[in-house]
Amino acid sequence: MNICLYVYNSVVVLLLSGFLISLNPANKSFIKMFLFSLFVQCHVARYSSVLAWVDNLIGVISDTHDNVENVLLAVKIFIKNNVEFVVHCGDVVSPATVRFFRGLHVKLIKGNCDGDLEQLKVALDEIGGEFLGEVGEIDYDGKRIIAYHGKDKGKLDQIISGGYDYVLTGHTHKTKDERIGKTRIINPGAHYYNCENKIVLLDVDNDKVEFIELKKS
């Protein structure tokens, strides 16, 4: 909370209290109760606005390749951080693996290893997820976000030049956080053999990207 605003609000309420009581001393108790209620409501609203940014986190994951153990670890972290939704940038592979994302709102991009698209869509429907196809555009919190698996580098370069705020991608199995002009390109990496096993928390309000390594207990 902004301490200056807190002090300002407090002073205003105190002055208003003294003024109203001077006008009608007989209702002093009622006036005090009313102003105290007003004071509390103002600061509860202020706290709520300060904490609202927590809900503006987006989870990003890619190339899970049926690594169920990592998926479960990722889901736990995403839920703990109260992400609004999760973008999976492709190569989940098996429709059965999709079901382990239950409890999150998942937006799935088609990867080159995602074969049975109809069953992937069925699994996504079961958990309340979305299939965005090969390329998915998302307007969120005033930001333009686009996701593409990244198999075709020429197509990826074209997408990057499209003036988006964020480009979410995968395929290379390498983490990436790069800015080209106004566009930030994010690749969370992969969960395959000898990969980095990372996910991303994206805070679009503060343009903050956090890579989190999944560590098995």
Mapped onto helix, strand or coil, the DSSP state of residue 204 is coil
Does the structure show a pLDDT above 60 at 5? no
Compute the distance between CA of residue 159 and CA of residue 75 in angstroms, rounded to an integer: 28
Cβ–Cβ < 8 Å for 106, 127: yes
What is residue 202's DSSP assignment?
Answer: E
Cβ–Cβ < 8 Å for 198, 214: yes
- CATH of 53-213 among 3.40.630.30, 3.40.50.720, 3.60.21.10, 3.40.109.10: 3.60.21.10
> Where do the H-state alpha helices sit in 61-152?
68-80, 95-98, 117-127
**What does the pLDDT average to over 183-201?**
97
Query: In this predicted model, what pLDDT tens digit does every residue of 52-105 receive, in sequence order?
Result: 445 589 999 999 999 999 999 999 999 999 999 999 999 999 999 999 999 999
Position 160 scores a pLDDT of 98
Distance from the first to the final alpha carbon of the chain: 36
Position 56 scores a pLDDT of 85
Both tokens assigned to 206: 């503060």
- Sorted by where each begins, the domain ranges of the chain are 3-52, 53-213
Rounded to 10°, the helix 28-51/3-23 angle is 160
Query: In this predicted model, what pLDDT tens digit does every residue of 166-184 receive, in sequence order?
Result: 999 999 999 999 999 999 9
pLDDT, mean over the chain: 86
At residue 69, φ and ψ (nearest 5 deg) are -60, -45
Q: In one letter, which amino acid is 162?
A: G
Cβ–Cβ < 8 Å for 182, 165: yes
Helix (H) or strand (E) holding 84: none
Q: What percent of the chain has pLDDT over 70?
A: 75
